[in-house]
Amino acid sequence: MLHLHPNLTVDTSTFGQKVSVPADHHSARGFRFPAGSALPLRNPRRRAQASKLPAPAPPPPEPMAPNTDKRSALQESPNVGEAASLLPVKQASASAPPKSIILSVCSFILVTEFCERLAYYGLSGSLPIFFHKKLGLSSVLATELNSTFTSLSYLTPLLGAYVADRHLGRFATIVAFCGLYIVGLAMCVFAALPAVSSLPLFMLGLFGGVGFGAGGIKPNVVVLGADQFDVSVPAQRREKDSFFNWFYWAINVGATFSFGVLTNLAVNGLPPYISADYGFFASFAIPSTAFVLAAVVFYMGKARYRRVPPKGSALRQFFAVLTEAGARSRRGRLVLSGGLAFVPGIVLTTTSYFIQDAFTHMAVALAGAGCVAYGTFVLVCSGAATDWLRLATRAKGGSFSSQEVQDATQVVRLAPYLGVIIIFWAVYGQMNSNFVVQGCQMDLRVGGQDAGDSPVLLSSAMLNVVDSGVILLFIPVFDRLLYPMLTRMGIYPTLLRKIGAGLVFAMLAMLAAGWTEQVRKRSPLIEGVASNCSAAGETLPMATLSVWWQTPQYVLVGISEILTSISAYDLFYSEVPESMRSVCQALNLLTTTLGFIVAGALNSIFSFWVTSDLNDGHLEYIYFMLALLVLVLLLAFTFVSQSFEYHVPPPGADSVSGFSPALSRAARELRKKLRFQRNGN
């Protein structure tokens, strides 16, 4: 007899035969034998004898759930031996190189996101001009409708997240809302035909189809992509981090094509193939067709996706925990008041878009901005303290288990970072508003001073392509070169450090924009050539300073976007419970609307700085005020982030987790001293 393990004895009379090993047993050297495996036979004379014996029948594999592929069954099976039988033998070979999840699975998702953003920006990029030029609306109403559509598109993700978590699951929700999206696009395309030009049909397709369709797709597609990776495997964890970069890269490929090609096609057509009358129809039809094809591609990849079934939305339970704990805590009531303040802020600001009286418009916009500012201040300053949530546990007389309260705590502790990201989106919103207005009064002539007496003028909005181009260029550089290089140097690019660095670049962008505006105002005016932004009966002068001097501020915003926005996607996926991931992505998207509200409110409140002719105003003051706001929130973020503990600690976060390493260590030492004093007393 041969004793390999206290619970495993091999009869040496059968040596040379395959010996089944019980599940979860280990050899003397610590090697784990999977259930159903066999000890190798090294005696050649016994090998022939063993080959004549009938092989034992393997245990039948457990049936797979519907819509579950083999890879997901392997990942979810508690018995490695049983799960291994679901895969071909060649995939189990140790010598086989691991497949790239991004290429083999997530490529379907990335193509879908690219085409969805192509359709969205292809529609919204020229929306104000279409409303004004083709449907006969006033320029003010056209701008307000565009703002309302943008707000709706970033509010409806809350609905899409709820449907996915509660009822359909992420895959089925995306498919269903893709259908709604396609119907809305078809209505918009048909309404854009010169022979139709139907405002009611276009509005129904825009708000009812595209607005809600985008909301159902946006929070779920990024989570579905991230669900394909097993973060317990180091290689897949690194690939998951890269996925968020490539996901954002796909977004900006669609945005670049839309702003660089489709917006010009909408206004000018493509003579002699497409007349100007059919420009908007073509610019809407092309991305709509691409999105239909992308929806088909997405559905074709369904067998490859690892799909997490809906377990019921934790949103109702989350709010119940917050309500019960908040009712018993002063700090809890303060945090809840800050979160609820965003609701009237959104309602008041959206209402102000449709108020014609100047004074009432400013008053309502100011009230909305005040609500958003209050909510941001409370979340940043008080949101990180989550001790008050313990009052909802049964041990403290509450109604919820410790795990239920812990899940709510994982979400609430991210509240300060929601507030911080709002100010980034306020800076980002300058590209579609004040940057464009500023560029209108810079030298837009193709060829500059050598353009002649009848120059061709650029569109100042075209410089948005610079932002998209920076993102397309630098995402691979950051992902493949910069982040690995910093890691080798011992400077670990954690999520919070990326967000903090992104805020620094956002502040620099506002300082650069303010400096450019000061230089523009000091530059001489171009004689005999008016800006192409001039309204009817108006002559808007252009300065001799080239519009390309705006490039640095667009570049800085683009770098800030790479660092802040992509990291926010990752943060609100990796650091929250699985049941709340779609909802947290929807909250992350909501910060876009709140940031645009802050940007719009600043222009409304300080409208005397943003005059029709910028030479009579002080647009640079708006930029410098935003830079100051970013600085204040950056300082608050630096202190708040020191107490953050990652749910899955990234490299280097064991000792340092916040934005500032020195402050992180100091904060940890202070917490240790306070804990020691409490225990001592």
Q: Which of 588, 569, 639, 599 is nearest to 246 (CA)?
A: 569
3-state secondary structure of 274: strand
In a domain, 317, yes or no: no
Is the peptide bond preceding residue 272 cis, with omega within 30 degrees of 0? yes
Which pair of structure tokens corresponds to residue 209? 């189809």
Q: Which residue has the tokens 């565009």?
A: 146
Counting runs of H as helices and runs of E as strands, what totals does the chain give? 28, 6
DSSP assignment of 492-516 equals: ---HHHHHHHHHHHHHHHHHHHHHH
Domain annotation covers residue 370:
no
**Is the Cβ–Cβ distance between 295 and 171 less than 8 Å?**
no
DSSP secondary structure letters along 583-646: HHHHHHHHHHHHHHHHHHHHHHHTTTTS-SSGGGS-HHHHHHHHHHHHHHHHHHHHHHGGG---
Cβ burial of 183 (10 Å; 0-12, 13-18, 19+) is middle
Radius of gyration of the chain (CA): 29
Using alpha carbons only, give the angle 95, 97, 99 rounded to the nearest 5 degrees: 145
Q: How far apart are CA 329 and CA 229, in angstroms?
A: 39
393 has which bridge partners? 400
- All residues at 6 or more sequence positions from 657 whose CB lies less than 8 Å from its CB, including other chains: 494, 496, 641, 642, 644, 645, 646, 649, 664
Residue 30, in any domain of the structure: no
Task: Report the DSSP pairing between strands 2-5 and 8-10.
Answer: antiparallel
Question: Is 61 a domain residue?
Answer: no
Q: What is the 3-state secondary structure (H, E, C) of 436-476?
A: HHHHHCCECECCHHHCCCCCCECCHHHHHHHHHHHHHHHHH
Beta-bridge partner residues of 525: 543
CA distance 482 to 293: 35
pTM higher than the cut 0.85: no
For residues 157 and 380, give the distance between their C-alpha atoms in angstroms, rounded to a whole number: 23
**CB–CB of 411/580 below 8 Å?**
yes
Q: At what angle do helices 107-124 and 212-226 cross, to 10 degrees?
A: 150
Residue indicated by tokens 């916040």: 658
Phi, psi of 658 (to 5 degrees): -85, -175
Predicted confidence at residue 209, as pLDDT, reads 93
Q: What is the DSSP letter of 491?
A: -
| Cα–Cα distance measured from residue 397 to residue 598, given in angstroms and rounded to the nearest whole number | 41
Strand blocks (E) in 316-426: none
Would you state the pLDDT for residue 453? 65
> What's the CA gap between 177 and 165, in Å, rounded?
14
Check if the beta carbon of residue 415 is closer than 8 Å to that of residue 376. no
Residue from 514, 615, 462, 594 nearest 155 by CA: 594
- The residues that bridge with 9 in the sheet, in sequence order, are 3
Name the residue with tokens 């019921």.
312
311 with 165: CB under 8 angstroms?
Answer: yes
Low-confidence ranges of the chain (pLDDT < 70): 1-98, 139-140, 312-313, 448-454, 534-537, 648-681
Q: Which range of residues forms the domain containing residue 204?
A: 99-302
Q: Give the H/E segment covering residue 446.
A: none
The crossing angle, in degrees rounded to 10, of helices 581-605 and 342-352 is 50
What whole-number distance in Å separates Cα of residue 576 and Cα of residue 584? 8
Phi, psi of 18 (to 5 degrees): -75, 130
Q: Under a CB-based contact definition with an 8 Å cutoff, are residues 206 and 188 in contact? A: yes
pLDDT on residue 422: 92
Task: Give which of 32, 12, 13, 30 is closest to 22, Cα–Cα.
Answer: 32
What pLDDT score was predicted for residue 47?
A: 47
Residues in the chain: 681
DSSP, res 450: G
Angle at 659 between CA 657 and CA 661, to 5 degrees: 65
The tally of domains found in the chain comes to 2
> Does residue 383 sit within a domain?
no
pLDDT of residue 452: 62
Q: How far apart are the first and last CA of the chain?
A: 62
* 589: amino acid identity, one letter: L
Answer positive or negative: Cα dihedral of 477, 481, 487, 490: negative
Domain finish residue from 302, 320, 336? 302
- Cβ-proximal residues to 256 (8 Å cutoff; 6+ apart), any chain: 465, 468, 469, 472
Which residue among 302, 325, 344 closes a domain?
A: 302
CATH number of the domain enclosing 270: 1.20.1250.20
The encoded tokens of residue 194 equal 């010169």
Task: Give the three-class secondary structure for 420.
Answer: helix
Tokens matching residue 457:
């003028």
- The three-state secondary structure class of 202 is helix
Q: What angle do CA 537, 539, 544 make, to 5 degrees?
A: 165
**Single residue among 302, 335, 353 that ends a domain in this structure:** 302
- The whole-number pLDDT of residue 537 equals 65
Residue 421, Cβ density class (10 Å: 0-12 exposed, 13-18 middle, ≥19 buried): buried
Q: How far from 319 is each of 217, 382, 568, CA to CA, in Å? A: 24, 18, 22
Residue with token string 């410089």: 463
What pLDDT is stored for residue 641 in this prediction?
Answer: 85
- Where does 87-211 have alpha helices with state H? 101, 107-124, 127-133, 139-155, 157-163, 170-191, 199-203
473, HSE (Cβ side, Cα atoms, 13 Å): 9
Cα–Cα distance for residue pair 552/508, rounded to 1 Å: 10
8 A C-beta contact, residue 464 and residue 431: yes
By C-alpha distance, which of 467, 465, 458 is closest to 439? 458
Task: In whole angstroms, give the CA distance from residue 258 to residue 278.
Answer: 17
